[in-house]
């Protein structure tokens, strides 16, 4: 039953996005996403406001005698106060007016003025000349019909899912640029399922639109926890992306006050210098050569070796390790080159990480998972819990998982993990970590390698070197029979080749080439 409901909601979201995309006309997807996502956010906070407004108006419970236009009543309930000119009911009536663009910009400004935590976050792009106001009115009608049903909680959840789905579709439409703000859902889900952020501090130093935080919150809720069980900390250097993130968090009711923006980024201006996080989840830019490493040569974060100025891969790993608590665990997506590179001292840093026993697991990912790159990628799992702390003592071991052939083609160009795929990979890691786990090496898929084996491979961490090639399944056909059939096929193909060559010579002879 649940499966059918999921399929229905996905179908609804796809239909909705197609309808919204038709209204885009000639506008670039990178511009258009802020217009659409801003409207979805506006609808969300307006719905939340209206729900509480009605309770205050009726004087229910603690609201007896309260004024429904008093902003403090809403702040006390952690609900954004929405001024009259910004309420969805008001704006919807003006959707067909030529001034609707200016009305929406005014609405966003009014909301920011009443709610300081949203200052500088909301898009004010609706009055721009290149935005067709008729199409904008159609978009308002479309978004106005998202929250169907009477239960406010259901409508809010649906708006959150629509926002998340639209982020992914816009990332797909933008290609390389889209990948800068969005990590595909199945990768994020896999990382969260493996790291298991039940409670504590969750950190992402390159947080994009906040997917790691959203999925962590979903994980907590699916395990009967409370959103308050985790606190999130993040940093983003792209202001536009940061705004998407803050709206994404707000629409999920997640406190984003510790998610910060500055142009310098986490390396040059670390806004969480003293943070020690229990869980770190990140998908930083691959092979970034413009990270200002030459300015940070003697930085205290480089405890395992100074990363090269021409590649930030090992700078990201060490930055995160620096912020990892004594019992923390982290997952970081990097290009596969990080597993084997020996240039510019990277091999020595990798060796140091291994010898200091912080590398827990390496997962090789399939191609075509990402919107913005075809570079093969992997996930590094680093941990400070390897001596026990509720898990099996596994010092001197690293788990290798080769998932490069796992997944299915979701469309012509992109691959995704199914629920079974994610469960298979995550459960392999969990069973390996458990005291009484049922882990077993599986040829071609997973291998628990010792430090001695890794030394033999010169500290290269490519999973394929360790897991080997899967055994072929015996089809029961005797070898002699197979050879006989193959020989007959080859003989037939050679005969056909001779006939074709004779025919080619004959035809060329007619035009005096032979």
| Residue pLDDT, tens place only, 83-123 | 999 999 999 999 999 999 999 999 999 999 999 999 999 99
3-state helix, strand, coil in the chain (%, to 5): 50, 10, 40
> Nearest Cα to 212, choosing from 178, 239, 228, 235?
235
According to the model, what pLDDT value does residue 325 have?
96
For Cα atoms 77, 83, 85, give the angle at the middle one, nearest 5 degrees. 150
For residue 357, is it left (φ>0), alpha (ψ between -120 and 50) or beta? Answer: left
Spatial contact of 306 and 288, defined as CB atoms under 8 Å apart? no
Residue 192's nearest CA partner among 232, 248, 140, 242 is: 232
Tell me the per-residue pLDDT of 8-59, one tens digit each, with 9 for 90 and over. 445 678 888 888 888 888 788 888 999 999 999 999 999 889 989 999 999 8
Give the model's pLDDT for residue 394. 92
- Two structure tokens written together for 196: 């298991």
Is residue 278 within 8 Å of 200, Cβ to Cβ?
Answer: yes
The Cβ-side half-sphere exposure at 491, using a 13 Å CA radius, reads 6
- CA–CA gap between residue 17 and residue 106 (Å, rounded): 26
- Joined tokens for residue 69: 């236009």
Least confident of 58-62, 352-356, 425-429, 452-456: 58-62
| Residue 419 clears pLDDT 90, i.e. is over it | yes
CA separation for the pair 274, 190 (Å, rounded): 28
**Looking at residue 156, what is its pLDDT?**
59
With bands split at pLDDT 50, 70 and 90, how would you rate the model's confidence at 6? very low
Residue 472: pLDDT above 70?
A: no
Average pLDDT, the chain: 89
Instruction: Name the band, by pLDDT with cuts 50, 70 and 90, for residue 146.
Output: confident
- % of the chain at pLDDT higher than 70: 93
Tell me what pLDDT residue 287 has: 93
% of the chain with per-residue pLDDT over 90: 63
- The predicted pLDDT at position 372 comes to 67
* Pairwise CA distance, residues 390 & 435, whole Å: 8
pLDDT digits (tens, 9 = 90+) for 452-461: 999 999 999 9
What's the mean pLDDT in 171-200? 86
């Amino acid at each position: 039953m649940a499966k059918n409901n999921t399929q229905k909601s996905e179908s609804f979201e796809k239909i909705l996005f197609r309808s919204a995309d038709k209204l885009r006309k000639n506008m670039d997807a990178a511009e258009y996403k802020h217009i659409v996502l801003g409207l979805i956010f506006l609808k969300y906070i307006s719905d939340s406001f209206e729900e509480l407004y009605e309770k205050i108006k009726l004087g229910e419970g603690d609201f007896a005698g309260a004024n429904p236009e008093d902003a403090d009543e809403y702040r006390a309930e952690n609900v954004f106060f929405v001024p009259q000119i910004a309420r969805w009911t008001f704006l919807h009536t003006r959707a067909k007016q030529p001034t609707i663009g200016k009305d929406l910009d005014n609405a966003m400004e009014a909301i920011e003025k009443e709610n300081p935590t949203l200052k500088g976050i909301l898009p004010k792009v609706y009055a721009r000349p290149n935005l067709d106001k008729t199409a904008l009115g159609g978009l308002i009608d479309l978004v106005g019909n998202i929250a169907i049903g009477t239960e406010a909680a259901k409508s809010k959840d649906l708006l959150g899912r629509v926002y998340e789905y639209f982020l992914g579709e816009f990332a797909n439409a933008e290609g390389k640029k889209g990948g800068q703000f969005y990590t595909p859902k199945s990768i994020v889900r896999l990382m969260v399922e493996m790291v298991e952020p039940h409670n504590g501090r969750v950190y992402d130093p390159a947080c994009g639109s906040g997917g790691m935080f959203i999925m962590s919150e979903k994980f907590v809720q699916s395990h009967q926890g409370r959103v308050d069980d985790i606190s999130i900390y993040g940093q983003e250097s792209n202001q536009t992306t940061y705004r998407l993130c803050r709206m994404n968090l707000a629409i999920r009711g997640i406190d984003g006050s510790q998610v910060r923006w500055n142009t310098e980024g986490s390396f040059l201006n670390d806004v969480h210098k003293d943070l020690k996080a229990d869980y770190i989840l990140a998908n930083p830019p691959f092979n970034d050569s413009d990270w200002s490493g030459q300015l940070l040569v003697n930085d205290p974060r480089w405890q395992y070796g100074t990363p090269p100025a021409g590649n930030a891969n090992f700078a990201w790993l060490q930055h995160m390790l620096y912020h990892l608590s004594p019992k923390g665990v982290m997952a970081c997506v990097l290009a596969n080159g990080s597993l084997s590179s020996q240039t510019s001292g990277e091999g020595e840093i990798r060796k140091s990480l291994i010898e200091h026993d912080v590398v827990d697991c390496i997962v090789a990912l399939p191609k075509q998972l990402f919107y913005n790159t075809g570079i093969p990628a992997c996930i590094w799992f680093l941990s400070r819990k390897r001596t026990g702390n509720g898990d099996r003592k596994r010092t001197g071991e690293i788990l290798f998982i080769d998932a490069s052939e796992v997944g299915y083609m979701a469309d012509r160009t992109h691959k995704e993990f199914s629920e079974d795929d994610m469960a298979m990979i995550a459960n392999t890691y969990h069973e390996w970590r458990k005291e009484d786990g049922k882990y077993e090496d599986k040829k071609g898929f997973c291998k628990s390698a010792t430090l001695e084996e890794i030394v033999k491979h010169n500290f290269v961490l490519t999973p394929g070197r360790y897991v080997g090639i899967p055994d072929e399944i015996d089809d029961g056909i005797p070898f002699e029979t197979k050879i006989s059939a193959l020989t007959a096929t080859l003989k037939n193909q050679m005969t056909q080749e001779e006939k074709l060559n004779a025919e080619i010579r004959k035809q060329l002879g007619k035009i005096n080439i032979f």
